[in-house]
Amino acid sequence: MCGITGCLALADGAGPDTEWVGRAAMRIAHRGPDDEAFFADQHLALGFRRLAVIDTSAAGRQPLQSADGRFVLVFDGEIYNYVELAQRLHARGVRLRSRSAAEVLLEMYAWLGKDVVRQLRGMYAFAIWDRRNLELFCARDPFGIKPFFYALTAGGHRPRSGPQLRFASERKALAGPGEVTTIDPDALRRYLSFQYVPAPATLVPPARSLPPGHVLIARPGGRVDVFRYWRPELRPARSPSSSSPDKILGALRDSVAAHLRSDVPVGAFLSGGVDSATLCALAAESVPDLLTFTVGFDREGYSEIDDAMATATALGVKSIPYLIGPEEFLACLPRIIWQLDDPMADAAAIPLWFAAREARKHVKVVLSGEGADELFGGYGVYYQPGVVRAGKALPGWGRSTIGRVASELPAGARGKGFLNRTSTPLRRRYIGNAYVYHGDDASQLVRKAHG
């Protein structure tokens, strides 16, 4: 990953806060330990912290200017089809000065403008400044893998300061210690319900999160607009196809191959599950010396290390295990919370942090397999055909009756969960699986917290 920061002066005649950009870049220095650089003109200041993965030479430094000097880019992420896009640029006579994906992205924008986001395959958050038209174009990838936070501020105490658009890869870069004075009660309520704060909200206004699949466009003296450019389109097949397994395997193999494009060593996380084992098996086809990383807790029943080591042996790859003890867990917890920005009540974030820390001692990039459970029904709650069929067959009054019976059973009573699932439509049951506090309970807690 890399770190990007920026400040656009929104008022006519007011310059950007370059000092703030420098402080913001320092706050996210952990994202890019390889290099630091800045750009500034009379309207905009940009900062960049680099983790060099593709073209690690100086030619890949950012902020990066287009060949004609019109556009300036800061970019965090990976464009997995950058090789194919570079070939299209070459066919148009564009001479690239580096092998970096960042330059490919920038020159594609110079060619296609805002439609460039429809050509990108990858995970990204970037900002491109058009020095001729005085327009800032920012975008976040369709699934929101890469973060992008921004805030509209009244400006600082500098002479001729005014309204500003500030943005950064992490929310902590937007405000220093003591600068956060309030919590958004609605965002807190959503956190208590969903275990995280859905975009575009954050817990601390005025910071906002650019939602996945959205772009932000801003101009000095003008407005700041946010638009959606992508939404998923699900077209379930009417019935299973005998060709589906081969198609899925082909898509996985193609995706893993694209993710392995790197000028630095690539490893992989390996747990006891099928998802990471599948990715490691496919990656090992082209990287036989693949390093895999596994963590577990020093408590019976809370470690997948033995299963992961057995998988690594079967695949013929090397696995590096790490056992997390209770003292280290408690000692590192404040650091983990700090890096999360807004809290996220997903217990998997903690072993993931330790796995990343250990992997960084050996490699810069890892395959993780995130999202496989949702796509392939990795948990039992996603695959209960009997319950689904029963729920669909029941009339509305029947589901309501079962729901009332379930609500009257004490917590933990045998059959309560089955009755709840049968009486709840699949769409609501999928969302409800993440609930900690339901709407009324969360609202009541927030009201009490705010007196």
Q: Exposed (0-12), middle (13-18) or buried (19+): which is 8, by Cβ within 10 Å? A: buried
C-alpha separations of 418 from 196, 245, 377, 409 in Å: 26, 31, 18, 12
Q: Exposed (0-12), middle (13-18) or buried (19+): which is 182, by Cβ within 10 Å? A: exposed
Q: State yes or no: is 7 an active-site residue.
A: no
Cα distance between residue 24 and residue 227, in whole Å: 26
In this structure, the strands spanning 71-79 and 64-65 are antiparallel
Contact 46, 84 (CB under 8 A): no
In this structure, the strands spanning 3-9 and 44-50 are antiparallel
Cα distance between residue 149 and residue 168, in whole Å: 5
Cα distance between residue 292 and residue 271, in whole Å: 9
What b/e string do you get for 261-294 counting C-beta neighbours within 10 Å, with b at 16 or more? beeeebbbbbbbbebbbbbbbbbbeebeebbbbb
* Residue of 190, 200, 215 lying closest to 128 (CA atoms): 215
Hunting for tokens 């570079």 — which residue is that? Answer: 86
Query: Which helix (H) or strand (E) covers residue 339, if one does?
Result: helix 326-340
Backbone phi, psi, residue 247, to 5°: -65, -40
What residues does 73 pair with on adjacent strands?
Answer: 64, 128
Q: Active site residue: 2, 7, 138, 280, which one? A: 2
Q: Is 39 helix (H, G, I), strand (E, B) or coil?
A: strand
Query: Which helix (H) or strand (E) covers residue 395, if one does?
Result: none
The catalytic residue positions are 2
